[in-house]
């Protein structure tokens, strides 16, 4: 908590850039600005990555469906970024084999997908796809439907832990002198005759406020970006869309690859793939009619839709609703283009400069780096200086930590999640905490480390974003509350009353936002 207090005091300094929004876009911008010598600070009204950036489909991919819709530039950029992240963020961004089965009379046709994947591989600079017969397809993914199966295409994209990707960017930015503060809301833009000069920052976890002055304020609030622009009386630009997902036990739908297919009801792309020991099924694409700043939840209709998809593509894997471990929904900040079908809206990036407030929104998780660089390019005239926009590695490759009792995969994952702090993590936590928590990949040592070092304010920060126990275990991690309580006492100075209050709020949060709808 000392780090949080230091950050509050530093907000009184004058900044080149004040970033409002602590998701992937804001975190990437903070990092890219800091490593180019700019004085940069970031504030987030809730927790880091609490919005869409911890609720995405967990894919780092080119987007075959965008290619099919003619968004060739977006696909080319996304494939290039996927390749870069696979090289430069191992352990955090990992290759994910895909299989798309082809059935008699089904779509897309094998020929059209072959053409798309050939272009996909051309963008990547090497071949990653192949055609396989029905027998090989069933060997790769035994649970898929076999009736009328003709053949399949196998290819490769990538997957990540989206919240940990945001936190890694923030860690790297802080190491360069930047400030990042959660539960700090930019309540009011500060203005003078010449434009925006900063923002009034209110501590949503306390009772204080400070005026943070900056040469430029960047609005990176995702689906909530229009709300900040309303202070300048600007018209909305976004069409917030909800995407919902299910997490199933790995044993219930065992997959070694991602299976991509079209939903039988509306031919919308759906997928199921292994993620952190569970099987993730997604996604939907629906207009949000409520306030996009409110936390979204899966609807009963969406849950039914996704279970229908599972039943259709995996007829031998009976998945009753009671077997769903957890659910989550995120709100995509999609730029409104007037398409009748939400899924037909383009995933373009939007950058606006309005009286000293620069808004960056839209885009997709995979393209966070080029979005940040494009925003820095737009800031140059407002800052009155040229910024070196030469491309740099996303991360400097960190050596896996040396520690007894850790496997090669565990060491690789730790170096991906925590970079050059991974060694410090294992050196400063008890050796008996190097064991995994239940059947997850998370170590007890990580639980202690993130509580100590990553700005945890509430229990859901710890269990839903710093670690993913809230999503990956049926009880949301509550079975380990006695041990978690001791860590929170040691690292966060929570007494029993504070922990019980946090535990009650967390249980309610799980039931409301991550359970199956009734």
Residue 50 to residues 94, 129, 405, 438, 457, Cα–Cα distance (Å): 22, 35, 33, 24, 13
The overall average pLDDT reported for the chain is: 94
Cis link prior to 283 (omega < 30° from 0)?
A: yes
Pairwise CA distance, residues 268 & 53, whole Å: 23
Q: Which residue has the tokens 């009671």?
A: 322
Task: Give pLDDT tens digits for 141-190.
Answer: 999 999 999 999 999 999 999 999 999 999 999 999 999 999 999 999 99
Q: Which residue has the tokens 């990580």?
A: 446
Q: 239-333 architecture in CATH?
A: 2-Layer Sandwich (3.30)
Contact criterion met (CB below 8 Å) for 79 and 128: no
Where residue 1 falls among pLDDT bands split at 50, 70, 90?
A: low
Query: The whole model's pTM is what?
Result: 0.96
Work out the angle at residue 48's Cα, subtended by the Cα atoms of residues 44 and 54, and round it to the nearest 5 degrees.
130
Q: Which H, E and C letters describe 320-356, residue by residue?
A: CHHHCCEEEEEEEEEECCCCCCHHHCCCCEEEEEECC
| Nearest Cα to Cα of residue 440 among 274, 255, 276 | 276
- How much is the average pLDDT of 405-409? 94
SS3 of residue 111 by DSSP = helix
| Nearest Cα to Cα of residue 47 among 128, 166, 147, 130 | 166
| Nearest Cα to Cα of residue 162 among 330, 302, 343 | 330
Tokens linked to 482? 């006695």
Residue 357: what pLDDT?
94
SS3 of residue 406 by DSSP = coil
Task: Give pLDDT tens digits for 447-486.
Answer: 999 999 999 999 999 999 999 999 999 999 999 999 999 9
What residues have CB less than 8 Å from 429, skipping those under 6 apart? 444, 445, 448, 449
Q: Where are the beta strands (DSSP E) in 346-458?
A: 349-354, 357-362
Q: What one-character DSSP code corresponds to residue 224?
A: G
Work out the angle at residue 363's Cα, subtended by the Cα atoms of residues 357 and 367, and round it to the nearest 5 degrees.
110
Task: Give pLDDT tens digits for 341-400.
Answer: 887 788 889 999 998 899 999 989 999 999 999 999 999 999 999 999 999 999 988 889
End-to-end CA distance of the chain: 39
- Alpha helices per DSSP H over 252-367: 300-313
Task: Give pLDDT tens digits for 180-190.
Answer: 999 999 999 99
| Nearest Cα to Cα of residue 219 among 331, 345, 356 | 356
**Cα dihedral sign, 392-393-395-400:** negative
SS3 of residue 398 by DSSP = coil
Contact criterion met (CB below 8 Å) for 49 and 22: yes
SS3 of residue 212 by DSSP = strand
Pairing of strands 40-43, 59-60: unpaired
Pairwise CA distance, residues 402 & 431, whole Å: 12
For domain 2-52+163-237+346-383, give the CATH number.
Answer: 3.50.50.60
Task: Give pLDDT tens digits for 268-312.
Answer: 999 999 999 999 999 999 998 777 778 999 999 999 999 999 999
Tokens linked to 370? 């080029």
Residue 2: what pLDDT?
67
Q: Per-residue DSSP letters for 63-95?
A: -HHHHHTT-HHHHHHHHHHHHHHHHHSTTTEEE
Pairwise CA distance, residues 146 & 102, whole Å: 10
Work out the angle at residue 473's Cα, subtended by the Cα atoms of residues 311 and 424, and round it to the nearest 5 degrees.
130
Domain regions of the chain by residue span: 2-52+163-237+346-383, 239-333, 429-513
């Amino acid at each position: 908590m000392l780090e949080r207090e230091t950050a509050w005091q530093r907000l009184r300094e004058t900044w080149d850039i004040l970033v409002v929004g602590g998701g992937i876009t804001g975190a990437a911008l903070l990092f890219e600005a800091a490593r180019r010598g700019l004085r940069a600070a970031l504030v987030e009204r809730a927790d880091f990555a609490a919005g869409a950036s911890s609720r995405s489909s967990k894919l780092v991919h080119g987007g075959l469906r965008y290619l099919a819709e003619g968004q060739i530039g977006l696909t080319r950029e996304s494939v290039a970024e996927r390749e870069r992240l696979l090289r430069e963020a191992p352990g955090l961004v990992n290759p994910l084999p895909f299989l798309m089965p082809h059935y008699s009379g089904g779509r897309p046709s094998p020929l059209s997908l072959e053409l798309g994947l050939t272009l996909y591989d051309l963008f990547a600079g090497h071949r990653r796809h192949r055609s396989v017969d029905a027998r090989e397809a069933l060997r790769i993914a035994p649970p898929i439907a076999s009736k009328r199966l003709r053949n399949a295409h196998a290819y490769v994209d990538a997957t990540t832990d989206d919240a940990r990707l945001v936190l890694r960017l923030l860690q790297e930015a802080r190491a360069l002198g930047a400030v990042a503060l959660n539960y700090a809301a930019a309540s009011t833009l500060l203005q003078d005759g010449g434009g925006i000069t900063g923002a009034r920052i209110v501590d949503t976890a306390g009772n204080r406020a400070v005026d943070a002055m900056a040469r430029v304020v960047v609005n990176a609030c995702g689906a909530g970006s229009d709300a900040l622009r309303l202070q300048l009386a600007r018209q909305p630009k976004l069409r917030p869309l909800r995407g919902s997902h299910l997490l199933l036990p790995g044993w219930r739908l065992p997959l070694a690859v991602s299976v991509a297919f079209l939903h039988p009801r509306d031919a919308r792309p759906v997928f199921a793939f292994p993620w952190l020991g569970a099987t993730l099924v997604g996604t939907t694409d629906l207009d949000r009619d409520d306030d996009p700043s409110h936390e979204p939840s899966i609807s009963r209709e969406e849950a039914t839709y996704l279970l229908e998809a599972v039943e259709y593509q995996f007829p031998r894997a009976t998945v009753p609703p009671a077997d769903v471990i957890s659910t989550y929904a995120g709100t995509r900040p999609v730029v409104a283009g007037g398409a009748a079908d939400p899924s037909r809206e383009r995933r373009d990036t939007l950058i606006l400069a309005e009286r000293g407030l620069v808004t960056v929104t839209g885009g997709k998780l995979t393209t966070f780096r080029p979005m940040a660089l494009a925003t820095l390019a737009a800031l140059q005239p407002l800052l009155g200086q040229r910024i070196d926009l030469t491309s740099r590695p996303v991360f400097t490759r960190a050596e896996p930590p040396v520690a007894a009792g850790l496997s090669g995969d565990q060491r690789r994952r730790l170096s991906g999640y925590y970079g050059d702090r991974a060694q410090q993590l294992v050196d400063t936590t008890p050796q008996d905490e190097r064991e995994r928590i239940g059947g997850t990949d998370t170590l007890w040592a990580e639980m202690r480390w993130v509580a100590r070092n990553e700005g945890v304010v509430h229990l859901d920060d710890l269990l839903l974003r710093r670690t993913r126990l809230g999503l990956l275990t049926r009880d949301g991690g509550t079975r380990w509350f006695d041990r978690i309580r001791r860590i929170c006492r040691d690292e966060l100075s929570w007494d029993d009353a504070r922990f019980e209050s946090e535990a009650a709020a967390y249980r309610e949060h799980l039931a409301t936002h991550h359970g199956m709808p009734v």
